[in-house]
Amino acid sequence: MVERLSLFALKKIIAGQTTQPATCIIKFYSNSCDYCHNLHEYYKDLALSYDDINFYAFNVDDHPSIEQELRFNGVPTIFAVRIQKPHKKPKIRILEDPERPNKHTWYYINGIKSFIEKEK
């Protein structure tokens, strides 16, 4: 399942303010992004295939300065946040843009899967 994040919840995850260790995959999207819409069903399917990872989505339209705050450029963007110890700074990684982006979804599903496997 993919849960939509509020700004408050996103900031808690990024700061590692959780009560348990966790691996979180966060997709940043915009309602006006065709790539984001096309990636939606694939992302939901990926979430169903992992029991041990939390999948989230954050709409950048809700807080437009989030790209600058988290230092990424454009959507879709996918983050992996690995919280090893509650209330400690987590490891945060960003999935790099593909060399030749998919014409419909930007990312390739196998590229996302590889990223998740590497970061979990």
Quick one: how many helices (H) and strands (E) in the chain?
Answer: 4, 5
The total number of structural domains that make up the chain: 1
The string of pLDDT tens digits covering residues 46-98 is 999 999 999 999 999 999 999 999 999 999 999 999 998 877 899 999 999 99
CATH code for the domain in which residue 102 is found: 3.40.30.10
CB environment 85-105: b (16+ within 10 A), e (fewer)? eeeeebebeebeeeeeeeeeb
Residue 18 has a pLDDT of 87
| pLDDT exceeds 90 at position 120 | no
Lookup result for tokens 């930007």? 106
- pLDDT, position 26: 98
- pLDDT tens digits, residue range 97-113? 999 999 999 999 999 99
Res 39: pLDDT: 98
pLDDT at 95: 98
Q: Is there a contact between 28 and 77 (Cβ–Cβ < 8 Å)?
A: yes
pLDDT at 88: 86
| Structural domain boundaries enclosing 14 | 2-119
The average pLDDT across 32-50 equals 97
Q: Which band of pLDDT confidence, cut at 50, 70 and 90, is reported for residue 15? A: very high
